């Protein structure tokens, strides 16, 4: 299948491109490279540096490459930034996908896979989180993801669009061979920050809060390997053959891991101590968030290859060992 991967030069998108190739599909990348890296995509994969707002050019790509399905990963995803600059998030995370969807429908492409987030759930009262947990975002980032989900429901009913929404928990890790991984500026993910602290390339890891009602007082999150996420996206393709299909899935391991447990895993994998400090809680941080992914396992046959934090950290460490400065500024 010819698959357009929007945001395919970014962290999750680039891993999905590799998994598409492994599964026998033909990926085509569309990425403006504001946050993505051309070096994250194999040289023989077509890459178009087109903005989604340019519907004429996007339509040309869809037709030229005979695209049959579109995957969308091109969102801004910093919660704090979304609070400080919500307009940036609404234009990129809501308006831009609407341009894309209009192009798709105009070109006869009616299969869509959308990268959503557990941020759409806000701060749920009960764990684990199922797909039926009420969605009540507490920040603009989560709201923009929910806004697109709602648009997709309407488009499925009105236009016969078939879509799958995947609500991620904490994407983590890197390709097993160490060739691609996380390269973000600024870096906010706890595993890369802990690795940089251990390797002496960054400051001590700052832990926000150690007085939460969790076993060790630090927040607990559900870390799921980026390649496991990617394989779920590809496993849904067959179900999208039904016109108007509206599919919603949580993706996580179902096992919450605390910040201190992440530190211990990094120390075990690297053999180095992780310098760290404690800071006050951040507003809006729930004590724990973790998924019930039973639906994805049952309906998609999704299986997790990296079930524990140490196996995830090991892949991240391999990437950071080989690429201590990420892609080295290469776009």
C-beta of residue 75 within 8 angstroms of C-beta of residue 34: no
What's the rounded Cα separation, in Å, for the pair 222 and 211? Answer: 19
Mean pLDDT of all residues in 11-22: 98
Residue 178 placed within a domain: no
Q: How many folded domains does the chain comprise?
A: 2
Phi, psi of 207 (to 5 degrees): -105, 120
**What's the CA gap between 11 and 27, in Å, rounded?**
15
Q: pTM value?
A: 0.96
Give 201-244 pLDDT, tens digit per residue.
Answer: 999 999 999 999 999 999 999 999 999 999 999 999 999 999 99
Residue 206, strand partner residues: 277
On whether both 8 and 144 belong to a single domain, the answer is yes
Residue 246 is assigned to a structural domain of this protein: yes
Same domain for 155 and 19: yes
Looking at the annotation, which residues are catalytic? 141
Q: Are residues 90 and 235 in the same domain?
A: yes
CATH at 273: 3.90.25.10
Percent of the chain residues topping a pLDDT of 70: 99
Instruction: Please state whether the peptide bond connecting residue 57 to the residue before it is cis, i.e. omega within 30 degrees of 0.
Output: no
Give me the half-sphere count of Cα atoms (radius 13 Å) on the Cβ side of residue 315: 24
Last residue of a domain, one of 236, 251, 266: 251
**Integer Cα distance of 115 and 250 in angstroms:** 11
Identify whether residues 233 and 317 lie together within a single domain.
no
In terms of domains, do 242 and 137 share one?
yes
Task: Dig out the tokens for 250 from the structure.
Answer: 């949580």
Domain of 38? Answer: 2-172+223-251
The verdict on residue 129 lying in a domain is yes
What distance in Å separates the CA atoms of residue 193 and residue 285, rounded to the nearest whole number?
A: 18
Q: Is residue 330's pLDDT more than 70?
A: no
Nearest by Cα to 35 from 73, 9, 72? 9
Beta partners for residue 249, in sequence order? 166
Q: Note whether residue 39 is domain-resident.
A: yes
């Amino acid at each position: 299948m010819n698959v357009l991967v929007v945001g395919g030069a970014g962290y999750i998108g680039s891993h999905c491109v590799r998994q598409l190739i492994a599964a026998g599909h033909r990926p085509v990348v569309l990425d403006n490279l504001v946050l993505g890296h051309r070096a994250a995509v194999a040289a023989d994969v077509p890459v178009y540096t087109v903005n989604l707002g340019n519907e004429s050019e996007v339509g040309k790509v869809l037709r030229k490459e005979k695209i049959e399905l579109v995957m969308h990963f091109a969102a801004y995803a910093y919660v704090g930034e979304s609070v400080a600059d919500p307009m940036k998030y609404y234009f990129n995370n809501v308006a831009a996908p609407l341009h894309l969807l209009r192009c798709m429908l105009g070109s006869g492409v009616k299969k869509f896979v959308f990268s959503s987030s557990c941020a759409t759930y806000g701060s749920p009262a009960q764990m684990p989180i199922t797909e039926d947990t009420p969605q009540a975002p507490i920040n603009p980032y989560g709201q923009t993801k929910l806004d697109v989900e709602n648009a997709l429901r309407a488009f499925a009913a009105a236009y016969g669009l078939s879509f799958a929404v995947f609500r991620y928990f904490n994407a983590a890790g890197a390709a097993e061979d160490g060739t691609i991984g996380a390269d973000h500026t600024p870096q906010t993910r706890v595993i890369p920050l802990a690795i940089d602290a251990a390797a002496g390339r960054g400051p001590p890891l700052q832990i926000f809060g150690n007085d939460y009602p969790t076993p060790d007082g630090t927040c607990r999150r559900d870390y799921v390997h980026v390649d496991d996420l990617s394989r779920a996206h590809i496993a849904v393709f067959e179900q999208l053959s039904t016109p108007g299909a509206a599919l919603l899935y949580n993706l996580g391991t179902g096992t919450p891991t605390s910040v201190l447990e992440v530190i211990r895993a990094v120390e075990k994998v690297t053999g180095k101590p992780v310098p760290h400090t404690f800071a006050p809680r951040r507003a809006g941080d729930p004590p724990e968030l973790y998924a019930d992914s039973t639906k994805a396992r049952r309906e998609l046959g999704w299986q997790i290859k990296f079930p524990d934090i140490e196996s995830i950290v090991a892949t991240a460490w391999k990437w950071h060992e080989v690429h201590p400065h990420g892609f080295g500024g290469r776009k």
